[in-house]
């Protein structure tokens, strides 16, 4: 595996809309593993392909060190409730802010082996999914966050 360069806010690549992935092969799986390693090295819990300069609809999420999700062409098909919590982002070093998100989401995606999956998520996982999917549409959390601070105000993890 290899560490990838993380693009930071101000880089125009982060404002682009990513294209669907149409081929999931060994090379693409290696890219997912490189994203995962890059995320872990930054102590993040999620990373989206545009953050490493690749405009494809894919992200890797691991909020609890047990369940890693490689989501390819993910789409949120249901949202429920609303909750405000603090977020950060590997592409916005040392910035944190409060973001309103759906409390629960149902997401459809293709996994790294080309299988269609449906996942119901809540809590940090639901928040992370929404944050990463925003990256695929060129949106950064700092554009929608309130009470942005430099430095982490509490325990919440980077997505």
Site string for Co ion, 95-134 (x = CB under 5 A): ----------------------------------------
Helical (H) or strand (E) element with 76 = strand 69-80
Distance CA(116)–CA(19), nearest Å, equals 18
Determine the Cα–Cα distance for residues 132 and 109; give it in Å rounded to an integer: 13
Number of residues that bind Co ion (CB under 5 A): 1
Q: Of 26-34, 72-80, 89-97, 122-130, which part binds Co ion (CB under 5 A)? A: 89-97
Nearer to Co ion, 89 or 145 (CB): 89
Q: What whole-number distance in Å separates Cα of residue 62 and Cα of residue 35?
A: 12
Nearest to Co ion of 24, 129 (CB atom)? 129
Q: Is 108 annotated in the active site?
A: no
CB 54 → Co ion: shortest distance, Å? 14
Which residue lies nearer to Co ion by CB, 8 or 118?
A: 8
Residue nearest to Co ion (CB): 89
89 binds Co ion (CB under 5 A): yes
Pair of tokens at residue 20: 């669907």
CA separation for the pair 7, 110 (Å, rounded): 25
Map residue 148 onto helix, strand or coil.
Answer: strand
Q: Looking at the annotation, which residues are catalytic?
A: 132
Tell me which residues touch Co ion (CB under 5 A).
Answer: 89
């Amino acid at each position: 595996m290899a560490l990838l360069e993380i693009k930071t806010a101000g880089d125009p690549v982060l404002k682009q809309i990513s294209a669907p992935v149409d081929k999931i092969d060994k090379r693409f799986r290696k890219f997912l593993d490189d994203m995962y390693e890059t995320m872990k090295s930054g102590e993040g819990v999620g990373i989206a392909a545009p953050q490493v300069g690749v405009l494809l609809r894919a992200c890797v999420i691991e909020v609890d060190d047990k369940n890693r999700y490689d989501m390819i062409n993910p789409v949120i098909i249901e949202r429920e409730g609303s909750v405000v919590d603090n977020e950060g982002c590997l592409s916005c070093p040392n910035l944190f802010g409060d973001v309103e998100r759906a409390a629960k989401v149902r997401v459809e995606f293709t996994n790294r082996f080309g299988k269609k999956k449906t996942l119901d998520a809540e809590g940090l996982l639901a928040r992370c999914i929404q944050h990463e999917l925003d990256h695929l549409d060129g949106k950064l959390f700092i554009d929608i966050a309130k009470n942005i601070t430099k430095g982490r105000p509490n325990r919440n993890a980077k997505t």
